[in-house]
Amino acid sequence: LGEDQALQLTLHKSTSIERGGNRGYRFVFGATLQGEKIFYASGSPLIIEIIGKQVVYFYRDLFWLPKDELERVPELEKREAYSIANVLANNYRLLSEILVKEGKLGADAKQASTFETIVDRITEVHYGYLKQSAGKDGEQAMLVPVWAVTIQGICFYFDIDDATALGYTVVSTGVL
């Protein structure tokens, strides 16, 4: 991506793969914008699979964002936002319900779920941008400033301005 591009790709994960007795690698890339992580509700910005010397799979979900258009992207550090403590306080019951639904928290634990129960299970908290899908009417994909909270292998996304839950992604299938 050229110097006029604020979007940067980074290697997120590489794994060895095998197909039809041939070995190769799968490379999954993440993306940042102005140094802040972009979270994808589903998929990744770039996935490449190579078997032998041949690319056998190529997936791309990128967008072009020249520097002169960056003014339209809300900057994280220049805004008053909900604190992460307030985001969690407003949404811990929702988090508990989703954790039960996804099998990460027993139904009996849901009954006793308190703010502290949920907070004790947090493994990561980041802020960044959530790439929302393009609309059906041809509208552009949007980047929304978010708090991203990972609890027991599920990454939850909350609007940084009003603490609204925007969705979640199961990033790990194991129960922690």
Q: How far is CA 146 from CA 36, 123, 127, 153, in A?
A: 11, 17, 6, 18
Phi, psi of 37 (to 5 degrees): -65, 140
**Residues 115, 91 contacting (CB under 8 angstroms):** no
Question: How many CB atoms are located within 10 Å of the residue 173 CB?
Answer: 9
State residue 131's pLDDT score: 84
Residue type, 99: L
Question: How many CB atoms are located within 10 Å of the residue 44 CB?
Answer: 17
- What residue ranges of the chain have pLDDT lower than 70? 1-6, 63-80, 107-113, 133-141, 172-176
State residue 137's pLDDT score: 61
pTM over the 0.75 mark: no
Give the three-state DSSP class for 92. helix
| Alpha-carbon span 87 to 103, nearest angstrom | 23
**Residue 159 token pair:** 């609007």
Give the three-state DSSP class for 48. strand
